[in-house]
Chain A
């Protein structure tokens, strides 16, 4: 079974530009969550999608947005990039809910550098 895939793996942008990152969950998984990881703040939750609907949102500015398609693939977009947006962006998918929790499967991440 293929794992969570994220594209691109590395990206360099300049301030003011926008960027779109893509995540393909494990086949059969319907929930996709996004996280930002920086040395200073650690791993922070961005948002979560389930069946094309945003189910939860972290404390990030409106420049960060996302969406999920009918095939469960998800994209996140960051507009008007700032230097502080340089980070590893991680995507996680989860199987259909069967109990009070679900194991989350993470992709390798997209390393975004903003110059």
Chain B
């Protein structure tokens, strides 16, 4: 499984934008970039995914580098409820398997 590298922790202030980086230099051409987050005392939840183009949804934006070796999850206005561990995951077409390979993730702290 291709590996991702994320900072262990990041800190932000409420209502400010947050940019969470992820490096994935060994990404293959068919790997999708997925982001999940895990709020305290909850299971992980899907945030966003992309392949080559930048993506936006109601939760966040995903900016993907042109060479696809890195990506950035953008929370436009952080709230206290965004404090969580954020995981960047590469997913390929593994014969239909739904397996997710989690790294250590980035623990985001949001200050009031």
A residues contacting B by CB (< 8 A) are 4, 31, 33, 35, 42-45, 48, 50, 55-56, 58, 90, 92, 94, 97, 100-109
Contacts and interface: CB of A to CB of B under 8 A. Distances in A.
Q: Is the interface of B mostly helix, strand, loop or mixed?
A: loop
Given A100-B32, A101-B32, A33 B98 contact: yes
A109 B43 contact: yes
Interface of A is mostly: strand
Interface residues of B, number: 26
Contact of A92 (B43, B91, B93): B43
Given A106-B43, A106-B45, A107-B43, A55 B103 contact: no
A58 B98 CA distance: 12
A101 B49 contact: yes
Contact of B96 (A42, A50, A109): A50
Interface of B: 30, 32, 34, 36, 41-46, 49, 87, 91-94, 96-105
Nearest to B46: A103
Most buried by A among B30, B87, B92, B102: B102
Contacts of B97: 48, 55-56
Contacts of A35: 100, 102
Given A92-B43, A106-B44, A109-B43, A100 B102 contact: no
